């Protein structure tokens, strides 16, 4: 019995010293098992993203530097010839001008209108849910339907012009999207009508996230409504504004449906890069030329997405 007790004590003592050694091994094995499961679960998504996004982005850039002027593939390398020809094309230059005007008008309208609507709803008005639904409803309407409706509303001899004539506001009549110089700005009205409600939802969420005590403290310090918004609310909503700028900027670059319904307009006044690319690629079968426009759109989108991702990483690091 003494011998067995000593052996038992030794075994217990040995087990006591071995436990700290086995525990890290068990944790390491468990971590490796969890990592393997995570890799197996995420692998289909990783492969799908790698193929259907990044591979085709790289393929688009590759097609833009080869000779592929017809429906039949031709991978003869021509360097930057397609790019030079595209930047010398008059329609492409007009499209870039239209993009600048469209982005300026669309982003300004969405951000200003969205912020004003959100500020109105943040006042705890009656029937807030009804107004919130009305404001965000256009976002649920497809771009094609929006284009059809606004094409009639902005038709020179009908729609808004006819209404202005009936109420004696003839000075408000306009050529709208048929204007050969500023027609693209009329397109921004239809697009902003559709997207301002979504921007309103972003700002409303940001406003509801601002502490009520902070607003009360500013009021006690003597801040009026203008000072409250200028000094406190607008600076605190800077991340929301940055998100709205990225979203509206991306929408400006890839806009297709409304210009497709309205047409290219007089002298391509309402043309867009995406619609030009569609016609070159799928109607004229000029694959390389279409790839050049698609590559330009990807580069422009990168200038928006890059800073946005950098800001997210900076927030995580802080």
Residue-wise pLDDT for 83-129, tens only, equals 999 999 999 999 999 999 999 999 999 999 999 999 999 888 888 88
Containing structural domain, residue 290: 90-317
The pLDDT value recorded for residue 8 is: 47
| Within-domain flag for 42 | no
| Within-domain flag for 305 | yes
| Within-domain flag for 63 | no
Dihedral of alpha carbons 310, 312, 316, 318, sign: positive
The pLDDT value recorded for residue 20 is: 52
CATH number at residue 220: 1.10.3720.10
| Within-domain flag for 33 | no
The pLDDT value recorded for residue 126 is: 85
| Within-domain flag for 95 | yes
| Within-domain flag for 84 | no
| Within-domain flag for 28 | no
The pLDDT value recorded for residue 14 is: 47
Question: What's the structural domain count of the chain?
Answer: 1
Whole-model pTM over 0.85: no
- Secondary structure of 170-231 as H, E, C letters: HHHCCCHHHCCCCHHHHHHHHHHHHHHHHHHHHHHHHHHCCCHHHHHHHHHCCCCHHHHHHH
Mean pLDDT in each 10-residue stretch from start to end of the chain (318 residues)?
47 48 66 78 89 92 92 90 95 95 96 95 87 92 91 90 90 89 92 95 93 87 88 92 94 92 86 94 92 95 88 77
| Within-domain flag for 278 | yes
């Amino acid at each position: 019995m003494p011998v067995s007790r000593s052996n038992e004590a030794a075994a217990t003592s040995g087990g006591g010293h071995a436990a700290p050694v086995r525990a890290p091994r068990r944790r390491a094995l468990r971590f490796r098992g969890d990592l393997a499961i995570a890799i197996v679960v995420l692998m289909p998504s990783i492969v799908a993203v790698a193929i259907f996004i990044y591979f085709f982005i790289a393929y688009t850039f590759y097609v833009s530097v080869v000779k592929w002027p017809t429906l039949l593939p031709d991978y003869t390398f021509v360097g930057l010839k397609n790019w030079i020809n595209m930047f010398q094309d008059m329609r492409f230059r007009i499209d870039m001008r239209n993009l600048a005007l469209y982005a300026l008008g669309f982003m300004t309208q969405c951000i200003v209108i969205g912020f004003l609507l959100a500020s109105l709803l943040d006042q705890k008005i009656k029937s807030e849910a009804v107004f919130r639904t009305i404001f965000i409803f256009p976002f649920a309407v497809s771009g094609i339907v929006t284009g059809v409706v606004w094409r009639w509303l902005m038709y020179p001899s009908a729609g808004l012009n006819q209404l202005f004539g009936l109420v004696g506001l003839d000075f408000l009549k306009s050529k709208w999207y048929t204007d050969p110089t500023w027609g693209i700005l009329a397109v921004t009205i239809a697009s902003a009508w559709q997207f301002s409600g979504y921007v309103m939802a972003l700002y409303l969420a940001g406003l509801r996230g601002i502490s009520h005590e902070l607003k009360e403290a500013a009021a006690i310090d003597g801040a009026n409504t203008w000072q409250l918004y200028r000094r406190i609310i607008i600076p605190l909503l800077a991340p929301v504004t940055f998100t709205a700028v990225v979203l509206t900027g991306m929408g400006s670059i890839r806009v297709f449906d409304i210009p497709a319904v309205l047409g290219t307009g007089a002298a391509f006044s309402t043309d867009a890069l995406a619609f030009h690319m569609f016609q070159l690629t799928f109607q004229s079968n000029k694959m390389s030329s279409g790839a050049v426009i698609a590559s330009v759109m990807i580069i422009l989108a990168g200038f928006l997405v890059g800073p946005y991702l950098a800001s997210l990483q900076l927030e995580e690091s802080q």
